[in-house]
Amino acid sequence: SPPGPDGGKPTVTYSEIYLNADFCVQPPGHSAARKGIVDSLVAGCVPVLFRGPVAPGVASPWDQRDLWPWHWPGQRLSSIEISADDLERRGLRAILESVSERQLRAMRRAIREQAPGLLWPLSRKDARPTVANALGIAMHHLGHLALAPPAARGCDAAALRGG
């Protein structure tokens, strides 16, 4: 890591931390779409999410299940979800230490399989045709939605015809 300001302690980036960690705690923020969760998955770090209401005006990462069903379909296989009650009763360290090496390997395997689906290619040369990326996945699903009858898309056919 490069030295910090004024030649002090080296600065460390989130990506360096994520790449060297087993678990990445993702506390709730003001929106469900938390960049840190994608960053941790791309780095191979198991995201630790908090289930249930946290505080007024603060979104729970648990809500993210609804944001990325196309891109992160195996959320339960590749993350740890902790309730406020469990966190208070057992504590974070005890919960994470209870994850076996076998479970951790399985979660990382699921992350390796799903992480490319969270990446958006910056150019055609970055897009590899043999690997599904976020753009390809979105286009695939949008194509299926466009071909589906209006009722299957949650549309009222009569309203679409103006009647």
Nearest to 134 by CA among 147, 122, 148, 117: 117
Structure tokens at 132: 């599904």
Strand bridging mode 23-25 / 46-51: parallel
- Edge to edge, the sheet with strand 80-83 lists 23-25, 46-51, 80-83
Q: Phi, psi (5° rounding) for residue 150? A: -50, -40
Per-residue confidence band for 92, with pLDDT thresholds at 50, 70 and 90: very high
Q: What is the pLDDT of residues 106-157, one digit of tens each?
A: 999 999 988 888 888 777 666 666 667 887 888 888 887 777 776 665 555 4
User: Percent of the chain having pLDDT more than 90?
Assistant: 24
Q: What is the pLDDT of residues 27-60, one digit of tens each?
A: 877 777 788 888 999 999 999 988 776 666 676 6
Per-residue confidence band for 66, with pLDDT thresholds at 50, 70 and 90: low
Q: How far is the C-alpha of 63 from the C-alpha of 82, rounded, in Å?
A: 13
Structure tokens at 70: 């196309």
